Amino acid sequence: MSAQTRTVTVNFPSRDQQKNQGVRFGGREFVVIAGPCAIESREQFSAAAEGVKSAGAVLLRGGIHKMRTNPASFQGLGNDAFSFIKDVKNAVGLPFVSEVTDPRQISDLASIVDMFQVGSRNMYNYALLKELGQTKIPVLLKRGFSATVEEWLLAADYIVKGGNDNVVLCERGIRTFETTTRNTLDLNSVAYVKAHSSFPVIVDPSHGTGRPELIAPLAMAAAAVGADGIMVEVHPDPSRSLSDAHQALNFAQFADITRGLSSLLAAMGRELAHA
Protein backbone atom coordinates (compact mmCIF):
# COMPACT_ATOMS: atom_id res chain seq x y z
CA MET A 1 0.00 0.00 0.00
CA SER A 2 1.32 3.39 -0.90
CA ALA A 3 -0.31 6.77 -0.41
CA GLN A 4 0.09 9.41 -3.08
CA THR A 5 2.64 11.97 -1.89
CA ARG A 6 1.66 15.59 -2.50
CA THR A 7 4.38 17.86 -3.77
CA VAL A 8 5.60 20.88 -1.84
CA THR A 9 7.56 23.55 -3.68
CA VAL A 10 9.94 25.97 -2.02
CA ASN A 11 9.98 28.99 -4.29
CA PHE A 12 13.09 31.02 -4.69
CA PRO A 13 12.75 34.34 -6.47
CA SER A 14 15.83 34.46 -8.66
CA ARG A 15 17.11 37.05 -11.07
CA ASP A 16 16.49 34.52 -13.84
CA GLN A 17 12.88 33.43 -13.33
CA GLN A 18 13.10 31.05 -16.29
CA LYS A 19 15.91 29.10 -14.76
CA ASN A 20 14.85 28.70 -11.17
CA GLN A 21 11.70 26.67 -10.71
CA GLY A 22 12.17 26.32 -6.96
CA VAL A 23 12.87 23.14 -5.02
CA ARG A 24 10.19 20.48 -5.19
CA PHE A 25 9.70 17.84 -2.48
CA GLY A 26 7.66 14.72 -3.10
CA GLY A 27 8.52 14.01 -6.73
CA ARG A 28 11.09 11.82 -8.47
CA GLU A 29 13.91 14.14 -7.48
CA PHE A 30 15.68 13.71 -4.16
CA VAL A 31 16.31 16.98 -2.32
CA VAL A 32 19.59 17.56 -0.49
CA ILE A 33 19.58 20.29 2.18
CA ALA A 34 22.92 21.19 3.76
CA GLY A 35 24.68 23.90 5.71
CA PRO A 36 25.98 24.61 9.17
CA CYS A 37 24.12 23.80 12.38
CA ALA A 38 24.35 27.51 13.28
CA ILE A 39 25.22 30.61 11.30
CA GLU A 40 28.30 31.99 13.06
CA SER A 41 29.57 34.81 10.85
CA ARG A 42 29.35 36.15 7.29
CA GLU A 43 32.62 34.40 6.42
CA GLN A 44 31.60 31.03 7.86
CA PHE A 45 28.13 31.08 6.28
CA SER A 46 29.37 32.24 2.91
CA ALA A 47 32.08 29.54 2.79
CA ALA A 48 29.55 26.90 3.90
CA ALA A 49 27.01 28.00 1.27
CA GLU A 50 29.52 27.86 -1.57
CA GLY A 51 30.94 24.55 -0.41
CA VAL A 52 27.59 22.77 -0.12
CA LYS A 53 26.28 24.19 -3.37
CA SER A 54 29.27 22.96 -5.33
CA ALA A 55 28.79 19.48 -3.85
CA GLY A 56 25.11 19.30 -4.85
CA ALA A 57 22.92 20.87 -2.15
CA VAL A 58 19.79 22.61 -3.49
CA LEU A 59 18.58 24.15 -0.26
CA LEU A 60 20.76 25.92 2.27
CA ARG A 61 20.30 25.46 6.01
CA GLY A 62 21.69 27.48 8.92
CA GLY A 63 20.40 28.19 12.41
CA ILE A 64 19.66 31.82 13.34
CA HIS A 65 17.87 31.02 16.61
CA LYS A 66 19.27 27.91 18.27
CA MET A 67 17.44 25.71 20.79
CA ARG A 68 20.38 24.68 22.98
CA THR A 69 20.03 22.28 25.87
CA ASN A 70 22.48 24.38 27.89
CA PRO A 71 21.53 28.07 28.23
CA ALA A 72 25.24 28.91 28.45
CA SER A 73 25.84 27.51 24.94
CA PHE A 74 25.88 29.68 21.79
CA GLN A 75 22.26 30.63 21.09
CA GLY A 76 22.67 31.81 17.49
CA LEU A 77 23.23 35.29 16.09
CA GLY A 78 19.52 36.12 15.94
CA ASN A 79 18.48 39.06 13.80
CA ASP A 80 22.10 40.28 13.62
CA ALA A 81 22.63 37.67 10.92
CA PHE A 82 19.91 39.07 8.62
CA SER A 83 22.13 41.70 7.04
CA PHE A 84 24.46 39.17 5.44
CA ILE A 85 22.17 36.15 4.96
CA LYS A 86 20.44 37.86 2.03
CA ASP A 87 23.79 38.57 0.36
CA VAL A 88 24.96 34.98 0.85
CA LYS A 89 21.70 33.49 -0.45
CA ASN A 90 21.73 35.65 -3.53
CA ALA A 91 25.42 35.13 -4.22
CA VAL A 92 25.06 31.37 -4.09
CA GLY A 93 21.56 31.28 -5.63
CA LEU A 94 19.97 28.82 -3.20
CA PRO A 95 16.80 29.05 -1.11
CA PHE A 96 17.21 29.01 2.65
CA VAL A 97 15.59 27.12 5.53
CA SER A 98 15.99 28.14 9.17
CA GLU A 99 14.34 27.27 12.45
CA VAL A 100 11.64 29.41 14.02
CA THR A 101 11.63 28.84 17.77
CA ASP A 102 8.96 31.34 18.85
CA PRO A 103 5.80 32.66 17.14
CA ARG A 104 7.08 36.21 17.71
CA GLN A 105 9.94 35.57 15.26
CA ILE A 106 7.68 34.68 12.33
CA SER A 107 7.24 38.12 10.77
CA ASP A 108 10.95 38.96 10.83
CA LEU A 109 12.03 35.53 9.62
CA ALA A 110 9.45 35.60 6.81
CA SER A 111 11.54 38.27 5.12
CA ILE A 112 14.59 36.02 4.92
CA VAL A 113 13.63 32.34 4.91
CA ASP A 114 12.15 30.43 1.97
CA MET A 115 11.11 27.60 4.29
CA PHE A 116 10.52 27.59 8.04
CA GLN A 117 11.93 24.77 10.15
CA VAL A 118 10.16 23.60 13.30
CA GLY A 119 12.66 21.83 15.53
CA SER A 120 12.23 18.61 17.41
CA ARG A 121 11.76 20.44 20.72
CA ASN A 122 8.94 22.54 19.27
CA MET A 123 6.90 19.86 17.51
CA TYR A 124 4.37 20.09 20.33
CA ASN A 125 4.29 23.90 20.30
CA TYR A 126 0.76 24.16 18.93
CA ALA A 127 0.66 27.96 19.22
CA LEU A 128 3.68 28.07 16.89
CA LEU A 129 2.18 25.50 14.49
CA LYS A 130 -1.10 27.44 14.32
CA GLU A 131 0.73 30.67 13.52
CA LEU A 132 2.73 28.95 10.77
CA GLY A 133 -0.58 27.77 9.36
CA GLN A 134 -1.45 31.41 8.75
CA THR A 135 1.50 31.83 6.37
CA LYS A 136 2.02 30.35 2.91
CA ILE A 137 5.71 29.69 3.46
CA PRO A 138 6.56 25.95 3.40
CA VAL A 139 7.32 24.35 6.77
CA LEU A 140 9.85 21.60 7.51
CA LEU A 141 8.39 19.86 10.55
CA LYS A 142 10.88 17.81 12.53
CA ARG A 143 9.64 14.91 14.57
CA GLY A 144 9.72 15.39 18.33
CA PHE A 145 12.38 13.10 19.78
CA SER A 146 9.77 11.36 21.88
CA ALA A 147 6.81 11.79 19.55
CA THR A 148 4.89 8.88 18.09
CA VAL A 149 4.31 8.93 14.35
CA GLU A 150 0.65 9.66 15.02
CA GLU A 151 1.50 12.73 17.14
CA TRP A 152 3.88 13.93 14.41
CA LEU A 153 1.23 13.61 11.71
CA LEU A 154 -1.31 15.40 13.91
CA ALA A 155 1.20 18.20 14.48
CA ALA A 156 1.41 18.56 10.68
CA ASP A 157 -2.38 18.76 10.58
CA TYR A 158 -2.26 21.79 12.89
CA ILE A 159 -0.33 23.68 10.20
CA VAL A 160 -2.58 22.43 7.39
CA LYS A 161 -5.73 23.26 9.34
CA GLY A 162 -4.53 26.85 9.66
CA GLY A 163 -4.46 27.08 5.86
CA ASN A 164 -0.88 26.18 4.95
CA ASP A 165 -0.61 22.75 3.36
CA ASN A 166 3.03 23.19 2.36
CA VAL A 167 4.37 20.84 5.01
CA VAL A 168 7.38 18.55 4.66
CA LEU A 169 8.14 16.11 7.49
CA CYS A 170 11.64 15.37 8.77
CA GLU A 171 12.62 12.23 10.70
CA ARG A 172 15.57 13.18 12.92
CA GLY A 173 15.83 10.28 15.31
CA ILE A 174 14.05 9.41 18.54
CA ARG A 175 15.24 8.82 22.06
CA THR A 176 15.49 5.14 22.98
CA PHE A 177 17.42 3.04 25.53
CA GLU A 178 20.33 3.01 23.04
CA THR A 179 23.05 5.52 23.84
CA THR A 180 25.73 4.48 21.34
CA THR A 181 24.28 7.00 18.93
CA ARG A 182 22.84 10.42 19.79
CA ASN A 183 19.37 9.28 18.71
CA THR A 184 17.89 6.21 17.05
CA LEU A 185 17.01 7.07 13.46
CA ASP A 186 13.57 5.58 12.93
CA LEU A 187 13.44 4.67 9.26
CA ASN A 188 10.29 2.65 9.97
CA SER A 189 8.55 5.99 10.33
CA VAL A 190 9.67 7.09 6.86
CA ALA A 191 8.34 3.94 5.22
CA TYR A 192 5.13 4.35 7.23
CA VAL A 193 4.64 8.00 6.25
CA LYS A 194 5.24 7.15 2.57
CA ALA A 195 2.67 4.36 2.78
CA HIS A 196 -0.01 6.04 4.84
CA SER A 197 0.24 9.80 4.55
CA SER A 198 0.49 12.31 1.74
CA PHE A 199 3.23 14.48 3.27
CA PRO A 200 6.69 14.42 1.71
CA VAL A 201 9.25 13.21 4.25
CA ILE A 202 12.99 13.73 4.52
CA VAL A 203 15.63 12.36 6.89
CA ASP A 204 18.22 14.13 9.06
CA PRO A 205 21.02 11.60 9.58
CA SER A 206 23.20 14.23 11.33
CA HIS A 207 21.00 14.54 14.44
CA GLY A 208 19.71 11.00 13.86
CA THR A 209 23.13 9.50 14.55
CA GLY A 210 25.29 12.31 15.98
CA ARG A 211 28.33 10.53 14.53
CA PRO A 212 30.03 11.68 11.33
CA GLU A 213 31.03 8.17 10.24
CA LEU A 214 27.39 7.06 10.33
CA ILE A 215 25.89 9.94 8.36
CA ALA A 216 26.77 8.60 4.88
CA PRO A 217 25.39 5.09 5.43
CA LEU A 218 22.17 6.45 6.93
CA ALA A 219 21.82 8.99 4.10
CA MET A 220 21.95 6.05 1.65
CA ALA A 221 19.44 4.15 3.77
CA ALA A 222 17.12 7.19 3.67
CA ALA A 223 17.16 7.14 -0.12
CA ALA A 224 16.71 3.36 -0.19
CA VAL A 225 13.64 3.51 2.08
CA GLY A 226 12.01 6.08 -0.20
CA ALA A 227 12.59 9.39 1.55
CA ASP A 228 12.12 12.59 -0.46
CA GLY A 229 15.46 14.00 0.63
CA ILE A 230 17.96 14.51 3.43
CA MET A 231 19.24 17.36 5.55
CA VAL A 232 22.85 17.30 6.78
CA GLU A 233 25.08 19.60 8.81
CA VAL A 234 28.22 20.73 6.99
CA HIS A 235 30.82 23.21 8.26
CA PRO A 236 33.87 24.71 6.50
CA ASP A 237 35.97 23.73 9.53
CA PRO A 238 33.98 21.20 11.61
CA SER A 239 36.28 21.23 14.63
CA ARG A 240 35.58 24.97 15.04
CA SER A 241 31.77 24.69 14.91
CA LEU A 242 30.07 26.63 17.70
CA SER A 243 27.33 24.00 17.87
CA ASP A 244 27.17 20.27 17.11
CA ALA A 245 30.87 20.15 16.17
CA HIS A 246 30.97 16.41 16.85
CA GLN A 247 28.58 15.66 13.99
CA ALA A 248 29.53 18.32 11.43
CA LEU A 249 30.83 17.07 8.08
CA ASN A 250 33.52 18.76 6.00
CA PHE A 251 33.00 19.46 2.29
CA ALA A 252 34.82 16.32 1.12
CA GLN A 253 32.69 14.07 3.34
CA PHE A 254 29.55 15.80 2.10
CA ALA A 255 30.59 15.43 -1.54
CA ASP A 256 31.09 11.68 -0.97
CA ILE A 257 27.47 11.49 0.20
CA THR A 258 26.01 13.26 -2.83
CA ARG A 259 28.14 11.08 -5.15
CA GLY A 260 26.93 7.92 -3.44
CA LEU A 261 23.33 9.08 -3.50
CA SER A 262 23.54 9.87 -7.17
CA SER A 263 24.45 6.26 -8.04
CA LEU A 264 21.95 4.74 -5.65
CA LEU A 265 19.11 6.96 -6.87
CA ALA A 266 19.90 6.14 -10.52
CA ALA A 267 19.49 2.45 -9.69
CA MET A 268 16.08 3.31 -8.21
CA GLY A 269 14.92 5.32 -11.23
CA ARG A 270 15.30 8.58 -9.34
CA GLU A 271 17.85 11.38 -9.30
CA LEU A 272 19.23 14.20 -7.19
CA ALA A 273 17.40 17.51 -7.53
CA HIS A 274 19.62 20.08 -9.25
CA ALA A 275 19.91 23.76 -8.39
Give contact residues for ligand PEP (rule: CB under 6 A).
Answer: 37, 63, 67, 99, 119-121, 142, 172, 207
Q: What is the smallest separation between the CB atom of 122 and ligand PEP, expressed in angstroms?
A: 8
Give Cβ neighbours of residue 25 (< 8 Å, ≥ 6 apart).
Answer: 7, 8, 9, 10, 31, 168, 200, 202, 228, 229
Q: Report the distance separating Cα 59 and Cα 10, nearest Å.
A: 9
Q: Which of ligand PEP, Mn ion, none has residue 172 at its interface (CB below 5 to 8 Å by kind)? A: ligand PEP
Region near Mn ion per CB under 5 A, out of 32-40, 96-104, 142-150, 213-221: 32-40
Q: What is the smallest separation between the CB atom of 173 and ligand PEP, expressed in angstroms?
A: 8
Give Cβ neighbours of residue 270 (< 8 Å, ≥ 6 apart).
Answer: 28, 29, 30, 223
Q: Which of ligand PEP, Mn ion, none has residue 89 at its interface (CB below 5 to 8 Å by kind)? A: none
Helix (H), strand (E) counts: the chain: 9, 11
Question: Cα Rg for the chain, rounded, in angstroms?
Answer: 17
The nearer residue to ligand PEP, 243 or 265, going by C-beta atoms, is 243
Q: Report the distance separating Cα 247 and Cα 273, nearest Å.
A: 24
Taking a C-beta distance cutoff of 8 angstroms, is the pair 64, 71 a contact? no
The nearer residue to ligand PEP, 120 or 197, going by C-beta atoms, is 120
Kindly determine how many residues on this chain lie close enough to bind Mn ion according to the rule CB under 5 A: 2
Residue of the chain from 33, 34, 37, 141 that contacts Mn ion (CB under 5 A): 37
The nearer residue to Mn ion, 171 or 244, going by C-beta atoms, is 244
Q: What is the smallest separation between the CB atom of 185 and ligand PEP, expressed in angstroms?
A: 11
CB atoms < 10 A from the CB of 17, how many? 8
Give Cβ neighbours of residue 117 (< 8 Å, ≥ 6 apart).
Answer: 61, 97, 98, 99, 100, 139, 140, 142, 170
Q: Interaction with Mn ion in 212-271: which residues (CB under 5 A)? A: 244
Q: What is the smallest separation between the CB atom of 7 and ligand PEP, expressed in angstroms?
A: 23
Q: Which of Mn ion, ligand PEP, none has residue 186 at its interface (CB below 5 to 8 Å by kind)? A: none
Binding interface with Mn ion (CB under 5 A): 37, 244
